[in-house]
Structure 1
């Protein structure tokens, strides 16, 4: 960026330059001087948009206006400088979660805030997440069914022992790289579904508002998935039309090493675009916010809504993540980062809050960040 001709009338570029400068010289934005700009290759910025004082105030105010404790909009308030609209209130909110734990890992604090503030919150779990469950977990749950049958009896035509022995024998003899049987895939999917329901109950989301899409592209039993298909789009459009949300939250982190997040985001984008092309009326009052997950965070200059978290809210978020017990301690697919997902999430939230603090904004325990997609 430095040394090249730039159009400093571009608000996004100016904000990026100023936040870069503040971080480079380790100063809050409002303490940047003409000398800081000149010594770091930004004299052209001063010439086009200066003086430094005016630039500092402008960018500081832009960042300050991203911060809100009301992610669904504050009712009966002036929303001129707020990232979300005050009306309608309460809103119908649809949170898309590519895997059954991405909602609480990536935006658990915001999810809790939306519920606490009275919005009608729905969560769409786009895939079953079944390949991320260890084999011994499937055996444990099959054994539970068998033990329950022995103790209390099950109203079924087949003894539960048969299920347990079938599952146990298959997994004991499973070869490296072998795809799980349909029965094992279903058990693993039910494990993750139960964990997601438990996290929703902790957050105060009714069971009826947890939607398990099980998009077909994911159901290969392997890390490699099928391409996005017509049925994936149909299921997504159907859910959107059923909920008719005023707010949509979706995973915008394309660094997921297995590509599931990328495909899930494409399903949402394509569905919205098809609905818009068909003249769907409720979309006129719908905003889409993109969060990022366990793999990366938005750059500070990209953030358009920053939801601050108190220490208590960060603890509640952690409890919601812990409901996903099959993913705790050691994820099956951790990627290059060996930390648990809750550790990554808290570190990212605290890092974002620290960046805001270093730039001269209020100091918070954590911040969840969002960028708006304008379709």
Structure 2
């Protein structure tokens, strides 16, 4: 599917009032090591990822209004789509899509994405979109503390929400939103000053304090990488985004497919009903058993402790027959730090 095949939306819906505003930006898109061909591949991948994430939230990109921004995009979402699924289902799917793409992409073509979410009045004037709310979305997207948050985390994705979105939605914790995953940053961009709230999916929201000499300095939060834990404790290991070897993933998938519970759609659905919603809701499901198991395992690896949670769900429903015990041994062998 090309970028053009995803477009053609202006004639379908034109903003004329309150709506959700999403602004996307690929970090370091203009890096000199990237050729125009590489940038075209990255842009095409970004639009695919945006479309998949919006579908997870219940709306197609083709039904939204969008404008291309070269190194990113602006997407305005019809008001019937609530803000909560954009912060949960859409973000979870975007994180998964970025991980899948970056695992296969060459280093020069990997995408690190910043996303801003705001709500407010926007109006199409026949030439494009006007509205203070649109300006504000790009101000928080371009804020240096937000750029620093993504860079210092080492993650593929970071999300910033406006004070309005935080006050109206995030702080109330609807659905699977966890307000503690967001931390405030100061915004000072052009005429805009105030506070916005950053979430780096998979990373702690509050950086630990470390003493340097006689002063206390904030150390940036490190991303959680596939739930890796220190032996004997629950302290996450700081790490760059970890890429589990594909051979290890397939070995786990092969063994999981030998568990009778995971060979039927009903059994897999029962297992995913136990796994926490932010994981199960991010899994692109498939009718074919092996593809579905691969998708489940791959998604669980995106979340701290996700694969362990999946194993516990399988053991809870299937008990500990030989295939389940062998699955546990396989995970311990090919992913020894889990």
- Which TM-score bucket, shorter chain as reference? under 0.3
TM-score (norm 1): 0.22
Q: Which has the higher strand share?
A: 2
Structure with the largest fraction of helix: 1
Calculate the TM-score normalised by the size of structure 2. 0.24
Which of these two proteins has the greater Rg computed from alpha carbons? 1
